Amino acid sequence: MEDPVNLLHLAQTISDLTTRVHERLRVIAQLESVPYHDLLAGGEDPELQAIKSSLNDVIQDFQLLVNGPRAALRSLYGSHYDLAAHQVALEFKLFEKVPLEGAISLGDLASSTDLSPDVVGRVLRLLATQRVFQETQKNMFAHSILSATIAKEKDLEASFHMQVDEVFQAASGTAKYLRQSPVTLDGAHCPFSTRFGTSIYEYYQLHPEKGARFGRALAGATQLDRDVNALCYQYDWQSFQNGTVVDVGGADGAVSLILAKDKKWPHLSFIIQDASATLLSQGRDQLPAEYESRFMFQEYDFFTPQPVTNAELFLIRQCLHNWADEDCVKILRGFVPALEKCKEGTPLIINESILPDLGSISKYQERLLRHVDMSMLINVGGRQRSADDFRKICKDADERLEIVKVYNTGSMGLLELKLLK
């Protein structure tokens, strides 16, 4: 049996770390003239992130010690029922139909769907135990801070809906796929392609409405744990004068638009390249008029040689993890002829998660990274990589491709490559 002193020690550690979070928030609020409570969910301050990450680790240890292993496992192995409830709420637009102000009766809510009051009530009551919605009085439902966030932020809603729809369906067959094919993993051979009979890329071409949702989901994921802070603030964009950034695999251009909106870099222009005509069209339609002169959208397959030979910088973000190592080698090799023609020292930036060395980050942070790694296995037969993994595929692509700097590791790492001539 665990020594009860450990429980008190963990409780004291939680108190100490909470005090540190509070103190850091007060410092940031004063420096940035932002209300304290507006900063609670913020994630841009590295020191605050580190403290909160440690706090989350200790809280999880505390819960395990308080509840014991059986209760923890009971909760874990019921999580697919939670996801099923989220699936229903998203599919039948319950987040949208519950008003942001006030409450709605169960009867009125059910009548706006094709569902019975019984089913709607059962779904909402399970979600309410997770603080998603709240039953303010019997058969009256209102938003909680979690459900209101989903209702108000449509890109986040798209991201969650994709996860509990096609991704959830594919994930449920992971062990079955690996039993049938324990070694082969690529875009055509993975749990997703087995579940739907086609690769994820072809699936979204066959289902353009879900392809459009996928584009919004990518933007939603950026708001969660795939932030652009390392890309925006750790790289020296000021060093480029009237430069063109080629955003390879840039989907609808949402990330480049974040860069374009920063008033410190008005000199940057962008070429958004993607194989999906749907995502490129979505990007054109959503682009604010004041940025049209700085953006170009180009359909491009990154398994073919890069056509732009006068870029100041190439960016490939959240793409390589979609592919097996041999495919990544082909993608990186496609940059080489263009880098040979561009001016010497033209950088290629890789912006995606970098897996940690053992014990180098908190379990809370690592779990988020391992989620993405498992997502790659399930959906595209790809994988997340460590810094050493990236070095290997670069050298396999071309001996002259060198990682000259690692700016950031973790949920959104940043590596700078150059072709040494």
- Residues annotated as part of the active site: 321
CA angle, residues 225, 226, 228, in degrees to nearest 5: 125
Q: For residue 273, which of 231, 199, 212, 335 has the smallest C-alpha distance? A: 335
**What is the Cα–Cα distance from 353 to 355, expressed in whole angstroms?**
6
Count of alpha carbons within 13 Å of 279, Cβ hemisphere only? Answer: 27
- For residues 149 and 40, what is the distance between their CA atoms, to the nearest angstrom? 14
Token pair belonging to 387: 């810094």
Instruction: Please report which residue ranges of 77-153 form alpha helices under DSSP H.
Output: 79-91, 94-97, 106-111, 117-128, 145-152
Query: Exposed, middle or buried: residue 345 (CB in 10 Å: 0-12, 13-18, 19+)?
Result: exposed
Identify which of 319, 312, 221 has the alpha carbon closest to the alpha carbon of residue 265.
312
Instruction: Classify 140 as helix, strand or coil.
Output: strand
CA dihedral of residues 20, 235, 385, 224 (deg, nearest 10): 50
Q: Is 112 helix (H, G, I), strand (E, B) or coil?
A: coil
Round to whole Å and give the CA distance between 95 and 164.
Answer: 14
349 strand-pairing partners = 315, 416
What's the CA gap between 3 and 10, in Å, rounded? 12
| Sheet order of strands, 134-137 included | 104-105, 140-142, 134-137
261: tokens are 């909106």
- Structural contact between residues 243 and 271, judged by C-beta atoms closer than 8 angstroms: no
The DSSP bridge partners found for residue 350 are 316, 415
Place of tokens 């049996």: 1
Instruction: Give dist(CA 23, CA 53) in Å, integer.
Output: 16
Pick the closest to residue 311 from 259, 357, 258, 243 (CA basis). 243
Listed residue (387, 391, 315) closest to 346, CA to CA: 315
